[in-house]
Amino acid sequence: MATVKEVAARAEVSVGTVSNVLSGAARVSCARRERVLAAIRELGYQPNHIARSLKLRQTMTLGMIVSDITNPFFSQLVRGAEEAALEANYLLLTFNTDDHVDREKQVLAVLRARRVDGILLVVAPAPNSDYAHVNETIEMRTPVVCLDRVPPGIKVDSVTVDNVAAARRCVQHLLERGHRRIGIITGSPLLETARQRLLGYRKALAEAGIPFDSGLVRQGDFRTRSGYQLGRELLASTRRPTAVFVSNGLMAIGLLKAVEELGLQCPRDVAIATFDDMPWAEGFRPHLTTVAQPAYEMGYRGAKLLMQRIASRETAAPPTKIRLHAELKIAESTSLPLRARGLRHTLRA
Ligand code: RIB
């Protein structure tokens, strides 16, 4: 196995120049850089990252903890973070918690033990909002950037969207379509995103002078099955809602299954609006009205922020909070104004 000294001799440069070409830590002339790269190829040199890590006290590795990578939102989040990491020659290690906080604690401990240089974290629901384990990680001087969900009471860098405003705008769109009995299927109230989207729903109703009806609220878990089961409950009731706001895309898919099983149609019998862009949902009808979150950009910007924090070594600096824009994309699932539906029924009779 060739050594860095043999590469330096072959390229007729110093060992330090070879290290600078490998790390990008300092500028190297094009001519010298080309000689070093040629020597590495000819000798088949492989840098010893373990030795380099010990010397530089950096592993060039980031950890990333998400809820469930099979959810399109999180897979896009990871893709964005991976892109930014690779651009800077960082390795990204990704883990799923399935929204179990004990798993989150376990993975954080493993990542700290492996000396990752920083961690991107989408927190799991924690009873009593107990996120002391996140604080401990930060206090152990491992930089953390929280994505999508910010644990309450923790001073941490974050990249999020304004869930309250986006949910409020989504429900206002249903109100503009003439709906007054609007149901909601939420995520776990232990999650900030779920709480904020419920708050946006309540704000929109209050501004329209519509009393909040707890009978129109169902608490899900951001997974398809809960959207299906709770959707059946909501729509099987005698005075079913004419529209449902679903707090995430996977639960909306479950609701659509319930609509079909009950012999109903969207938007004819029930309008549906949700969160999360799901590219594969474009292959089904109706196309869903949704708040499209910039998940890829959220992951990319989060990784960039984390690497800046690592380079500055200022883990105690005031948190940076990046707020991205979420766009309401209106589609077929809310295309029918309520009054038009009544007219069509009358004409059909
Ligand atoms: O689909 C998962 C949901 O949980 C997304 O809406 C994302 O915001 C996360 O909070």
pLDDT in tens, 178-193: 999 999 999 999 999 9
Distance in angstroms (rounded) separating the CA atoms of residues 83 and 55: 26
- The pLDDT assigned to 206 comes to 98
Peptide bond into 286 cis (omega under 30): yes
Q: For residue 160, which phi and psi values (nearest 5 degrees)?
A: -140, 180
Ligand 1 mutation pick, 193, 221, 288, max ligand atoms within 8 A of CB: 193
- Is the distance from the beta carbon of residue 193 to the nearest atom of ligand 1 less than 6 Å? yes
- For 48-105, the pLDDT digits (tens) are 776 666 666 788 999 999 999 999 999 999 999 999 999 999 999 999 999 999 999 9
Give the class (CATH, top level) of 4-47: mainly alpha
Span 71-80, pLDDT tens digits: 999 999 999 9
Q: Which residues lie below 8 Å from residue 313, measured CB to CB, with a gap of 6+?
A: none
Give residue 315's pLDDT. Answer: 63
Residue 335 has pLDDT above 50, yes or no: yes
Q: Which CATH number fits domain 58-161+294-325: 3.40.50.2300, 3.90.1150.10, 3.40.50.300, 1.10.1040.10?
A: 3.40.50.2300
How far does the centroid of ligand 1 lie from the alpha carbon of residue 193, in Å? 7
Residue 64 Cα to ligand 1 middle (Å): 16
Beta pairing, strands 182-186 & 144-147: unpaired
73, 146, 197, 298: which to mutate for ligand 1, most atoms within 8 A of CB? 73
Q: How far apart (Å, rounded) are the C-alpha atoms in residues 23 and 154? A: 34
Boundaries of CATH 1.10.260.40 in the chain? 4-47
pTM, entire model: 0.85
Hey, which residues does 93 pair with through a beta bridge?
63
CA 199 to chain centre: 20
Residue 244's SS3 state is: strand
Domain with CATH 3.40.50.2300 in the chain: 58-161+294-325, 163-293+329-340
The residues that bridge with 289 in the sheet, in sequence order, are 273
User: Measured between alpha carbons, how far is 61 from 92 in angstroms, rounded to an integer?
Assistant: 6
Q: Which of 65, 70, 71, 78 to mutate to test the pocket of ligand 1 (most atoms within 8 A of CB)?
A: 71
Question: Which helix H or strand E contains 272, and what residues bound it?
Answer: strand 271-275
Task: Report the chain's mean pLDDT, rounded to a whole number.
Answer: 92
Which of the four pLDDT bands, split at 50, 70 and 90, describes residue 8? Answer: very high
How much is the pLDDT for 340?
61
CA–CA gap between residue 81 and residue 90 (Å, rounded): 10
* Res 345: pLDDT: 41
Q: Whose CA is nearest to atom 3 of ligand 1?
A: 248
* 71 touches ligand 1 (CB under 6 Å): yes
CA 20 to chain centre: 35
Summarize pLDDT for 199-252 with one digit per residue, the tens: 999 999 999 999 999 999 999 999 999 999 999 999 998 889 999 999 999 999
Q: What pLDDT is recorded for position 321?
A: 97
Residue 346: predicted pLDDT: 38
> Is the distance from the beta carbon of residue 45 to the nearest atom of ligand 1 less than 6 Å?
no
Task: Over range 317-328, report the average pLDDT.
Answer: 95
Q: Quick check: CB of 160 below 6 Å from ligand 1?
A: no
Q: Please give the distance, rounded to the nearest whole angstrom, from the Cα atom of residue 106 to the centre of ligand 1.
A: 22
Class of domain 163-293+329-340: alpha beta
Ligand 1 neighbour 301 (Cβ under 6 A): no
How confident is the model at residue 52, as a pLDDT?
Answer: 67
Ligand 1 and 275: CB distance under 6 A: yes
241 and 183 in contact (C-beta within 8 Å)? yes
